[in-house]
Structure 1
């Protein structure tokens, strides 16, 4: 491809996508609100920009084949703080993509769009939205935005409902883990699949205990290789007993399902921001 655009390039996942994406195109334009993303590759261009500023975002997508939208505020916060980067920012990306004739948006959605489903209820890609936070609600908004732009304007979208993409350190992650290698493979398939229309797929590795079903997304050709079962014995031996009445343990959204709206999940549970998406 001639040009790809990556938002959220300074983030934990975005930074890992830079080299693989750069290998897929002549020019990789990367953007973030951070002042710097470190040393640039030979075909990388960095532009600092605020997702909520359409005047800053729109020029970046000119001439792009696709945009990989990983930029967002990654935690639960009051709605007013979420509105700019996660709601308006998503609209700006899709509208700018439409204006410039971009073919496809690959979007980092999240399990938190359906995070209030019980863990004993295996969910597929067609279940109704059931967000666990304002953060999850923003993911629902962007998924619906993507579907609407496909059906009304012909702009393809692949929404990656990532579960947890970080080292396995807790019982939930034995099922929800997405390894970094599988994450890269997932994004590559979202880009390389010839026709996607509007598609949703869960971002999860080939875990024995994966709580979601990607059968209806097999057209994307995502075939994960890693399995968190290798960590299970140690994790479960060291973990405290889980409370089945605690939403953090019982629902797909994990700790996001158990916090009050607008309060940080990362601070309350001492999570790293790489643990969720």
Structure 2
């Protein structure tokens, strides 16, 4: 490919994607709202842009083969804060992609689009939306937007419902972990699969305790290699007793299922900021 675009390049997950993406095309254009992202990889350039501006996003996507869309507020927040970057921003990415003839959008969706399902249900990729937050609701919008643009305009998209892509620090993440290596494998398959149409896939590693079924996305060729069970002895030894009446422990959305709408879900979690540095 000649040109890939990565939104959300200044974020923690974006920091792990920049290098492998820079090797998949002649040119990688990384973008974010930040002024810069520091040292660039060979073949990578940076363009500052606001997802809420169709004009700015259109300029970034000109000439692109595919866009890997990770830019967003990555936590629950009041609806009016989510609206610009997460909802209007998604529309701007798809509309700009359509106008410029971009072939595919690879989208960082989230477990929070279906977060209210009990883990014991072991849902597949065809489960109806069941968001746990405004953040999850925005992911539902983008998934429906992707289906609409595929069925009406022929723009392919892969929606990766990402789980816990961070260091394993809790009993929940024994089930929901997505390693950084598996994240890269997932994004790579979403890009190099010849045809995807509109696809949904769970972004999760090959965990023994995995609470979802990815069989419906086998056409993407994503085969995770990592397993959080290696951390189980240490995590379980330090864990408090389980509470089966607590939705945060019983539903796949975790703490996002019990917070008030508009209040931070990440504040209830321990996320280690181990972003990759050059």
Shift of 1:226: 0.4
Instruction: Tell me the C-alpha RMSD between the 2 structures.
Output: 1.2
Aligned to 2:200: 200
Do 1:122 and 1:213's aligned partners in 2 also have CA atoms closer than 8 Å?
A: yes
Aligned to 1:102: 102
- The correspondence of residues 69-148 of structure 1 with structure 2, limited to 5 A, is 69-148=69-148
Structure 1 unmatched ranges of 5 or more: none
In 2, Cα distance between the equivalents of 1:217 and 1:261? 31
Structure 2 unmatched ranges of 5 or more: none
In 2, Cα distance between the equivalents of 1:168 and 1:259? 21
Tell me: CA distance 1:164–1:2, structure 2 relative to 1, closer, same or farther (3 Å).
same
In 2, Cα distance between the equivalents of 1:78 and 1:273? 23
Aligned to 1:5: 5
Indicate whether 1:171 and 2:182 are aligned.
Answer: no
Tell me: CA distance 1:112–1:172, structure 2 relative to 1, closer, same or farther (3 Å).
same
Question: 241-250 vs 190-199, which deviates more?
Answer: 241-250
* Runs ≥4 residues deviating over 6 A: none
Indicate whether 1:30 and 2:30 are aligned.
Answer: yes
Per the alignment, in what secondary structure is the counterpart of residue 120 of structure 2?
Answer: coil
Per the alignment, in what secondary structure is the counterpart of residue 224 of structure 1?
Answer: coil
Shift of 1:258: 1.2
Per the alignment, in what secondary structure is the counterpart of residue 213 of structure 1?
Answer: coil
In 1, Cα distance between the equivalents of 2:270 and 2:227? 25
Do 1:158 and 1:190's aligned partners in 2 also have CA atoms closer than 8 Å?
A: yes
Shift of 1:247: 1.3
Aligned to 2:162: 162
In 2, Cα distance between the equivalents of 1:274 and 1:130? 30
Deviations 1:23-69 (A, max 9, x none): 00000000001111110122111011110011111111111000000
Per the alignment, in what secondary structure is the counterpart of residue 74 of structure 1?
Answer: coil
Aligned to 2:267: 267
Shift of 1:7: 0.1
Aligned to 2:42: 42
Do 2:123 and 2:212's aligned partners in 1 also have CA atoms closer than 8 Å?
A: yes
Shift of 1:237: 1.0
Shift of 1:273: 7.1
Indicate whether 1:224 and 2:224 are aligned.
Answer: yes
Number of residue pairs matched? 275
